Structure 1
Amino acid sequence: MPIRADLYRTRLFPPENRVSLQRTRSDAPDLASEPAVPRLRCPSLERFRESHFIPQKPVVLEGVVDHWPCMRKWSVDYLREIAGWRTVPVELGLRYTDEEWSQELMTVDDFISQYIVNKNNVGYLAQHQLFDQIPELKEDINIPDYCCLGEGEEDHITINAWFGPEGTISPLHQDPQQNFLVQVIGRKYIRLYSPQESENLYPHESQMLHNTSQVDVEDPDLVKFPRFEKAAFQSCILTPGQILFIPVKYWHYVRSLDISFSVSFWWS
């Protein structure tokens, strides 16, 4: 299960399903030379099950969430209006392995003012169960029907918010559950590697970072990590209204190209 039960965790909080930030790149990559994640428009449950869930293959789903209220209602101003007074944990720093990485409690309004409007700062409202905190926002989303293909009950699905400025980065990592990542605001560049590529991705040897690669995906040190160059991958730019299916244990790297709000559904 995802590990994020304590809003007041320290820098040593276990990094399962964790992200870190790096405000060093804001350009959209040229995907012409990169193998693309396949796309399907509103596939039936049976087609999704046979083509992607059973073989555990990533796919971008289109047209599935077009009717969700969040797609027409959510904006930075709307989020400030609905949730501005609520206190949330904001992650500050470049990487969760850095000594200076920290977390601060602040209101959503202060977070937007300091880290969304002011683009020179690094801050991320990441992996937070905001929808349990603010029922009005939960009413604007739905659990994707495809989650019924899992073995778990609906009340075991973890729904998290990911809200941050352009340039936030999740380093290459893997998660212990299936993931539907729904893009509501902005775009994200995402690169995916099969679990079969693990030995070419140089996971950290420590137990705390075992689910995170040592490699900087977009600027790899091929002298230090020579096998990374031959690791096969797929990529996409996820845009508003699209869902990315990330199978369990699939390695994924994520970079926000704009101010971004995503919703993740972790399920088994």
Structure 2
Amino acid sequence: MTLNEFLDRHIVPSDKGVGADISQPQKPKKLGYLAQHRLFDQVRLIGIELGLVARVEDAEDGGDEDITINSWFGPGGTVSPLHFDPKDNVLCQVVGAKYLRLYAPEESNKLYPIEGLLSNTSQVQVEDPDDEQFPEFRHAKYVECVLREGEMLYIPPKYWHYVRSLSTSFSVSFWWA
């Protein structure tokens, strides 16, 4: 399948009017979502052309940090469920907009983490919580924002975050420890 065929089949049709209103989350019927993908490792030339590879290598040469670059690409309505990452994170919005909700680590007991291997992920569907199953969730304090094209957001380690694309979106995240 060519990139154009992928876009026509999975991105363009599902992006018409989906998720543009932050108060009305919807899911497209067919969903194409490239999530947490190391695109710039796979297609190094893109990272070189954008100057990302050289800057990351320079930063790594100056210290002990191991920097991971991930990319995120999909139509409006795509979601990253409520979770936290163990590393510092700068999320850069390249195209489109995303709605984010952030919860401090102190709220963890109200966020119902999955037990076991996925303990960094919540069981709660953030925008449609089951109040009977997760009664404390509604008491969890959070901040919310819309990250727009050209903006960046720093997310500290262990801060819970939920992300929903409001439109066709391309983001790049930089993780380091």
- What's the TM-score once normalised by structure 2's chain length? 0.81
Give the whole-Å Cα distance in 2 for the aligned partners of 1:254 and 1:237: 10
Deviations 1:217-264 (A, max 9, x none): 111111211111111111110001111101111100000000000001
Q: What one-letter code is carried by the residue in structure 2 that aligns with 1:238?
A: L
Deviations 1:173-226 (A, max 9, x none): 011111100000000000000111100000112x23211111111111112111
**2:57 aligned with 1:162:** no
**2:159 aligned with 1:247:** no
Match of 1:108 in 2: 3
Contact 1:178 1:246 in 2 (8 A): yes
- What's the TM-score once normalised by structure 1's chain length? 0.55
Matches within 5 A, 1:169-208: 169-205=79-115, 207-208=116-117
Give the whole-Å Cα distance in 1 for the aligned partners of 2:40 and 2:33: 16
Q: What one-letter code is carried by the residue in structure 2 that aligns with 1:170?
A: S
**2:137 aligned with 1:137:** no
Give the whole-Å Cα distance in 2 for the aligned partners of 1:220 and 1:208: 22
Give the CA deviation at 1:136.
Answer: 3.6
Match of 1:209, SS state, is: coil
Give the CA deviation at 1:132.
Answer: 2.0
Match of 1:39 in 2: none
Match of 1:118, SS state, is: helix
Q: What one-letter code is carried by the residue in structure 2 that aligns with 1:127?
A: Q
Aligned residues: 157
Structure 1 gap ranges (5+):
1-105
Give the whole-Å Cα distance in 2 for the aligned partners of 1:227 and 1:248: 23
Match of 1:118 in 2: 13
Match of 2:143 in 1: 234
Give the CA deviation at 1:151.
Answer: 6.3
CA RMSD of aligned residues (A): 2.1
Contact 1:152 1:267 in 2 (8 A): no
Deviations 1:149-179 (A, max 9, x none): x9633xx211011000110011100111111
**2:124 aligned with 1:215:** yes
Match of 1:256 in 2: 165
% of aligned pairs identical? Answer: 57
Give the CA deviation at 1:141.
Answer: 4.8
Q: What one-letter code is carried by the residue in structure 2 that aligns with 1:188?
A: K
Give the whole-Å Cα distance in 2 for the aligned partners of 1:107 and 1:173: 33
Structure 2 gap ranges (5+):
15-28
Match of 1:112, SS state, is: helix
